[in-house]
């Protein structure tokens, strides 16, 4: 059963990121998760066959891997792919994927844009819009391996694209990609407004991706700049044991009333999996559903009426209270 449009979906892809904007017959994909079929299975279940644009925020495999399955499938028409260059990324996945994208562009099957920066035009998906907040042209022009104004080395994370999602010109979400301290400092220097009611937290709640980053001050600054009412962590239960406890506790100190939620059930919160399938999950594809690894699963911002985040907090909190005896997300939630 296909979910009613319009909506914004933050997919449970395990450890990785993938977000879908959907309105009418228009679809935009922001990041594709790790290698595997998660993104493909969601799109197939939702009857999506045409994708207006795929944005790859940066070259990490947990953001680009799922594109392999889409390109290999004959079931999808992808009109455009946008990405940032990364000459330091030597993985076979990045090498093979960038070559395949180039070949598709040469054959005029897919339009390819290398260089995602702020001040590019907004990308429309019906009444949904994707606005690029970063990187700035300055940081993108310096490039991976270069030095910023503080003589810190720019990495793939530093030029990770970040986005505001707007509904009827109102910001409803901030997709932070994997921005690090360098990119955050640059956004502040350029006085770019970042506030949004929903934040998809960078690095899946892990370390902020730069040697000089302080995990506490980075988290504090994120909270101050965005002031979200909900923070989502897109995590895989079997990898890295995210979100880190010091990140969640810092969020709680800065934003005591914020809703904190994860796609999958962190090992910090429950050593054992639920004995039965959760009843609170939205009826869309979620990678962890079959193995009962979901916490919130795939989150949907339902836009058919007023924007509403699902699963809603009450049934989700009830699930956490019962199934996550060492929960770190409910520590100070009323």
pLDDT at residue 211, as a whole number: 55
Helix (H, G, I), strand (E, B) or coil at 333: coil
> How many separate helices (H) and strands (E) can be counted in the chain?
9, 17
pLDDT digits (tens, 9 = 90+) for 118-157: 989 999 999 999 999 999 999 999 999 999 988 999 999 9
pLDDT at residue 210, as a whole number: 57
Residue segments in the chain with a per-residue pLDDT below the cut of 70: 209-213, 331-334
- pTM for the predicted model, two decimal places: 0.96
pLDDT digits (tens, 9 = 90+) for 252-274: 999 999 999 999 999 999 999 99
pLDDT at residue 331, as a whole number: 63
Q: According to the CATH classification, is domain 7-323 in 3.60.15.10?
A: yes
Question: What's the N-to-C CA distance of the chain in angstroms?
Answer: 35
- Name the burial class of residue 100, with classes exposed (0-12), middle (13-18) and buried (19+) by CB atoms within 10 angstroms of its CB: middle
Strands 7-10, 299-302: pairing is antiparallel
pLDDT at residue 334, as a whole number: 41
Q: What residues does each domain of the chain span?
A: 7-323
Tokens for 18, please give them: 């993938």
């Amino acid at each position: 059963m296909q979910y009613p449009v319009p909506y914004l979906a933050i997919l449970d892809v395990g450890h990785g990121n993938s977000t879908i904007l959907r309105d009418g017959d228009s679809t935009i994909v922001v990041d594709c998760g790790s290698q595997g079929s998660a993104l493909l299975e969601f799109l197939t279940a939702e009857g999506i066959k045409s994708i207006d644009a795929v944005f790859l925020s940066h070259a990490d495999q947990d953001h680009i891997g799922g594109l392999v399955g889409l390109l290999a499938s004959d079931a999808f028409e992808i009109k455009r792919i946008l990405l940032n260059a990364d000459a330091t990324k030597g993985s076979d996945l990045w090498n093979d994927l960038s070559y395949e994208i180039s070949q598709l562009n040469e054959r005029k099957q897919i339009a390819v844009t290398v260089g995602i920066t702020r001040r590019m035009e907004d990308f429309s998906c019906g009444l949904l819009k994707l606005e690029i907040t970063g990187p700035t042209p300055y940081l993108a022009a310096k490039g991976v391996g270069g030095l910023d104004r503080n003589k810190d080395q720019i990495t793939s994370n530093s030029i990770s694209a970040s986005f505001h999602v707007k509904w009827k010109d109102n910001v409803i979400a901030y997709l932070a990609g994997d921005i690090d301290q360098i990119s955050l400092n640059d956004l502040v220097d350029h006085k770019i407004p970042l506030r949004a009611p929903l934040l998809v937290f960078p690095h899946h709640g892990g370390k902020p991706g730069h040697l000089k980053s302080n995990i506490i001050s980075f988290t504090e600054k994120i909270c101050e700049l965005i002031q979200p009412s909900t923070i989502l962590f897109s995590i895989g239960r079997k990898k890295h044991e995210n979100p880190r406890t010091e990140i969640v506790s810092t969020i709680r100190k800065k934003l005591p009333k914020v809703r904190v939620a994860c796609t999958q059930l962190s090992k910090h919160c429950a050593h054992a999996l639920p004995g039965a399938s959760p009843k609170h999950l939205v009826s869309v594809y979620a990678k962890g559903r079959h193995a009962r690894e979901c916490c919130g699963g795939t989150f949907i911002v339902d836009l058919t009426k007023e924007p509403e985040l699902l699963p809603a907090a009450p049934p989700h909190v009830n699930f956490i209270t019962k199934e996550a005896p060492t929960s770190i997300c409910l520590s100070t939630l009323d």
